[in-house]
Structure 1
Amino acid sequence: MAKNFLSHIKKKFGDSGYEGDEFGGAAGHNGNGLPTGNPGNFMFATGIECSYPTIDHGKTRRDLLAETDHYNRYKEDLGLVKEMGLKVLRYNLPYYQIQKAPGKYDWDFADAAMKEIKRLGITPILDLMHFGVPDWIGNFQNPELPVHFAEYAGAVAKRYPWVRFYTPVNEVYVTARASARDGIWNEQLKSDRAFITAMKHCAAASIMGNHQIAKHRPDCVIVQSESAEYIHEMRTVESDETRISNKLRFLSLDLLYAHPLDAEVLLFCLDNGMTREELKWFMAGEPPGYQIMGNDYYGRNERIIKPNGDWCSAEDVLGWYTMTRQYYERYRKPVMHTETNTFKAEDAECWLWKQWVNVTRIRKDGVPVLGFTWYSLLDQIDWDISLAEKRGTINPCGLFDLDRKIRPVGESYKMMLQEFGQITMVPHGELFEITSRPAELKVEV
C-alpha cells in the first residue's frame, strides 16, 4: 500500500517543529505581545485629561491637570503609561499657562514633562489647545486667536523638534458648541452667530497652527480629534433644529479638510456671519502634513429625543462603527479612535471590549483604522456635568483612580495589549514604508 504524503514528510522532516516554522506557519507569530515600538505598530494609546475652559463668565478656570494633581505627579502618571505597556499618549501642554503674551512663554512645566516623556520612550500626540485659551486672548470670539495660536504652535514645534504627532485644536465642534451655542464655557454665549464665530476662529487656528507645525516638521502627522455625535428624534416629522444639528456635526471637519458644505449648512453659515471670502479661504485646500481623522465616541454622544421633548442616552444605537463609517465615507481619511470611556465603572471593561470589536470589525470591512485610545489614564472630575460647575464629583472612567491604583478596565486594557499589541496599522504593514518624507501627495485612501 502506497504511503500518503504525510508519511513522506514525516520521514524527511519529522512530525512537527519544521525548520523555518518559527517565522510563520503553525508555530509562527500572530501579533501577540506588547507593541514593539516599531512605527508600523497599531497605535494603542491613552490620554491624560487636560481640559481648561473657564466658567462663571471667566471668573473660574477649570484645569483638570491641576484638579487631578498631574502637575505634582506627572512623573508617576507618565510611569503608569509605561507600566501599561503603552507606547502612545495623547498629551496636552497647558496652552493658557504657557503663552503669557505674544512672543512670551513659560516653558517650565512643559520642558519637565516633555523631557520625561522622551526619556520613557513614549510617543506623544501633542494636543495644543483643549477647550480654553490664555486669559489675555479672552475667548473664542476673538478674531486674533488664529494668529496668536499659530505663533504658539510654531514655538512648540521648534522647541520639541523630536515630536511628530499633533492635535492642534481638540474637538473644534465641541469647543465652539459648548462655548457659544450651549453657553457652558468660556464666552458662555447661546446664539447661532456666536457659534459660527467660534467655529471659524477655532478651525482657522487649527489650520494656521498646522502650517506652523509643518514649517518645522514637514513630515508631521495631524490627528484631528473630533466628537462623533448624532441625535435620534422620535417624532414622525423631524424638527428643523435636529436636522441642522445632525448636519452641523460635520462642519468643523468640512472647514479643516476643505470639503464642500451641505447647502443648508452653507446658508446657515452665511446667515450667521461667515463671509464668502472666509469660506473661500477654508475651501482653498486642506492643511499640510499627514492627516488622520480622529473620532471620539462615548455612548452619551448619541441621544434619543422623545415626542414630549425629553431625552435619553442612545448608547450604541449607531455606535462607533456606523458613525465612523459615515465620517470615513465623507472624508476618506485614515482613522483613529481617539477617545472613549464610560462613567459607570462596573460597565467599563465591557465597554472597552465593545469599542475594540467596533475597531476590528471596521478594519475587516476595509476602513483603515490606525489607533485606539481609552480616555483617560486617570479618573476625571465633573465631566458628568461637562465641567459646568465646580462640584468635585469624581467620574470613575480612568484606567487608574486618582490614588493611581489600577482599575479593572486598566487590567483589561493590559490584556488587550498582550493579545493585539503587535498588530500593524494595516494588514501586512511590514511591507509598507513609514516614511519621514513631507506629506506632499494628497490622495484619497
Structure 2
Amino acid sequence: MAKSFLTHIKDNFGDGLYEGDEYGGAAGHDGSGLPTGNAGNFMFATGIECSYPTIAGGTIRRDLLAETDHYARYKEDLALVKELGLKVLRYNLPYYLIHQAPGRFDWEFADKAMAEIKRLGITPILDLMHFGVPDWIGNFQNPELPVHFAEYCGAVARRYPWVRFYTPVNEIYVTARASAKDGIWNEQLKDDRAFITAMKHIAAASIMGNQQIAKYRPDCVIVQSESAEYVHEMRAVPTPEICLLNKLRFLSLDLLYAHPIDSEVLIYCLDNGLTRQELDWFMAGEPPGYQIMGNDYYGRNERIIKPNGDWCAAEDVLGWYTMTRQYYERYRKPVMHTETNTFNAKDAECWLWKQWVNVQRIRQDGVPVVGFTWYSLLDQLDWDISLAEKRLAVNACGLYDLDRKIRPVGESYKMMIREFGQITIMPHGEMFEFTTRPATLKVEK
C-alpha cells in the first residue's frame, strides 16, 4: 500500500514544527512580551497629569505638575514609566509657563524633561495645551489665541525635531464647556455664546497648531484626545436640552475633522456667534498629518437623569466599546483609548481589565484601535471636584501614589504589558512594513 503523504512529509521534514514555521506561522510569536519599540507595536501608554486651568476669577492657577511635585521629581517619574515596561507616554509641556510673550519662550524645564525622555527611549505624545493658556493671552474668549498658539506649536516642533506624536489641544470640548458653559475654569462663564466662542477659538488653535507642527514634521501623527460622554435621560418625552447636549459632544471633532454638523447643533452655533465664513473655514478640509481619534472614557462620563431631574452615575451602561463605536462610525479614524481610570483604588484593577476587554473586543470587530492609556502615572488632586477649588484632596487613581509607590493597578498594568506588549497596531499589521525583519506575530489580539 502506498505511503500516506504525511509519512513522506515526516520522513523528509519531521513531525511538525517545520523549519520556517517561526516566521509568523503555526509556531509564530503570540504577541506576548514587553514592547520592543518597534513602530508596529500597539501603543501601551500612561500619562502624567498636567492640567493648568485658572480658578477663582483667574487668581489661582491649578498646575498639577507642580502640585504632584513633578517639576522636582521628573527624572524619578520618567523612570517609573520605564519600570512599567512602557515605551509611550502622554506628556505635557506647560504652555502657560513656556510661552512668555509673542516670540519669547522659557525652555529650561522642557529641555531637561525632553532630554530625559529621549535618553530613556520613551516615545512622547506631546500635549501642548491642557485646559489653560498663559496669563498674557487671558482666556479662551481671546480671538488671537489661534495665532499665538500656532507660534508656540511651531516653536516646539522646531526645538524637538525628533518628536513625531502630538496632541495639540487636550479635550477641546471639555476645555470649552468647563471654561465657558459650566463656569468652573478660566473665564468661568455660563453662557451659550461664550461656549461657542471658546469652542471655535480652541478648535481653530488646534488646527493652526497642527499646521505648524506639520510644517516642521510632515509625517506628524496627531492623537486628538477627546472625552466620550453621554447622558441617559429617563423621561418618556426627551427634553430638547438633553438631546442637544448629547449632540454637542461631537462638535469639537466635527470642526476639527470638517465633518458636517447636525442641523440642530448648527443652528445653535449660528445663533451663538459662529459665522458662515468661520463655518466655511472649518469645513474646508482636515488638518495635515496622520490623524488618530483619541477617546477618553471614565465611568463618570456616563450619567442618568431621572424624571425628577436628579442625576446618578451610569458607569458602563454603554461603556467604551459602544461609545467609541459611535465616534468611529462618524469619523472613520484610527482610534486610541487615550484616558481612563477610576477614583476608587479598590476597583482600579478590575476597571483596567474591563477597559482592555473593550479594546480587544472592538479590535476583533474590525475597528482599528492602535493604543491604550491608563491615565495617569501618579495619583491626582481634586479631580473629584474638577479642580474647582484648591483642596489638595488625593484621588487615588494613579499607577503609583504620590510617594511614587506602585499601586495594585500598576502591578496589573505591568502584567498586561508583559502579556500583550508585542501585539501589532492592527492584526497582521507587520505585513505592511517594508523591512528585512521576518514577521513575528501570527495570532490576532
TM > 0.5: yes
Question: Who is 2:50 aligned against?
Answer: 50
> 1:308: how far off?
1.1
Between the aligned partners of 2:191 and 2:338, the Cα distance in structure 1 is 29
Question: Who is 1:200 aligned against?
Answer: 200
> 1:428: how far off?
1.1
Alignment of 1:336-355 (within 5 A): 336-355=336-355
**Structure 2 counterpart SS, 1:169:** coil
**1:71 is the counterpart of 2:77:** no
Question: Who is 1:441 aligned against?
Answer: none
State whether residues 180 and 198 of structure 1, in contact with CA within 8 Å, keep that contact through their aligned partners in structure 2: yes
Q: Structure 2 vs 1, CA of residues 434 and 262 (structure 1 numbering), >3 Å: closer, same or farther?
A: farther
Deviations 1:103-150 (A, max 9, x none): 000000000000000111111000000000001111111111111111
Question: Who is 2:373 aligned against?
Answer: 373
Between the aligned partners of 2:100 and 2:66, the Cα distance in structure 1 is 18
Alignment of 1:11-410 (within 5 A): 11-410=11-410
Between the aligned partners of 1:365 and 1:211, the Cα distance in structure 2 is 33
Between the aligned partners of 1:39 and 1:13, the Cα distance in structure 2 is 35
> 1:324: how far off?
0.6
Between the aligned partners of 2:434 and 2:415, the Cα distance in structure 1 is 27
User: Which amino acid in the other structure matches residue 19 of structure 1?
Assistant: E
> 1:378: how far off?
0.5
> 1:20: how far off?
3.0
**Structure 1 counterpart SS, 2:168:** strand
Deviations 1:286-305 (A, max 9, x none): 11111111000000000000
User: Which amino acid in the other structure matches residue 408 of structure 2?
Assistant: P
State whether residues 181 and 194 of structure 1, in contact with CA within 8 Å, keep that contact through their aligned partners in structure 2: yes
Between the aligned partners of 1:205 and 1:357, the Cα distance in structure 2 is 35
Aligned length: 435
Question: Who is 2:442 aligned against?
Answer: none
**Structure 1 counterpart SS, 2:245:** helix
**Structure 2 counterpart SS, 1:136:** coil
**Structure 2 counterpart SS, 1:33:** coil
**Structure 2 counterpart SS, 1:430:** helix
**Structure 1 counterpart SS, 2:366:** coil
State whether residues 39 and 434 of structure 1, in contact with CA within 8 Å, keep that contact through their aligned partners in structure 2: no
Between the aligned partners of 1:283 and 1:252, the Cα distance in structure 2 is 12
Between the aligned partners of 1:277 and 1:215, the Cα distance in structure 2 is 25
Deviations 1:414-440 (A, max 9, x none): 1111111111111111111489xxxxx
> 1:19: how far off?
2.8
User: Which amino acid in the other structure matches residue 391 of structure 2?
Assistant: R
Identity rate, percent: 85
TM-score, length basis structure 1:
0.95
Question: Who is 1:443 aligned against?
Answer: none
Alignment of 1:421-440 (within 5 A): 421-433=421-433
Between the aligned partners of 2:266 and 2:23, the Cα distance in structure 1 is 55
> 1:15: how far off?
4.2
| Higher mean C-alpha deviation, range 25-34 or range 167-176 | 25-34
State whether residues 305 and 311 of structure 1, in contact with CA within 8 Å, keep that contact through their aligned partners in structure 2: yes
Q: Structure 2 vs 1, CA of residues 391 and 434 (structure 1 numbering), >3 Å: closer, same or farther?
A: farther
**Structure 2 counterpart SS, 1:22:** coil
> 1:194: how far off?
0.6
Between the aligned partners of 1:225 and 1:13, the Cα distance in structure 2 is 52
> 1:72: how far off?
0.4
> Which 5+ residue runs of structure 2 have no aligned equivalent?
436-445
Deviations 1:395-427 (A, max 9, x none): 111111111111111111111111111111111
State whether residues 40 and 434 of structure 1, in contact with CA within 8 Å, keep that contact through their aligned partners in structure 2: no
> 1:240: how far off?
1.1
Q: Structure 2 vs 1, CA of residues 165 and 434 (structure 1 numbering), >3 Å: closer, same or farther?
A: farther
Between the aligned partners of 1:24 and 1:325, the Cα distance in structure 2 is 30
User: Which amino acid in the other structure matches residue 193 of structure 2?
Assistant: R
**Structure 1 counterpart SS, 2:303:** strand
TM-score, length basis structure 2:
0.95
Q: Structure 2 vs 1, CA of residues 259 and 434 (structure 1 numbering), >3 Å: closer, same or farther?
A: farther
> 1:159: how far off?
0.5
> Which 5+ residue runs of structure 1 have no aligned equivalent?
436-445
Q: Structure 2 vs 1, CA of residues 164 and 130 (structure 1 numbering), >3 Å: closer, same or farther?
A: same
State whether residues 291 and 333 of structure 1, in contact with CA within 8 Å, keep that contact through their aligned partners in structure 2: yes
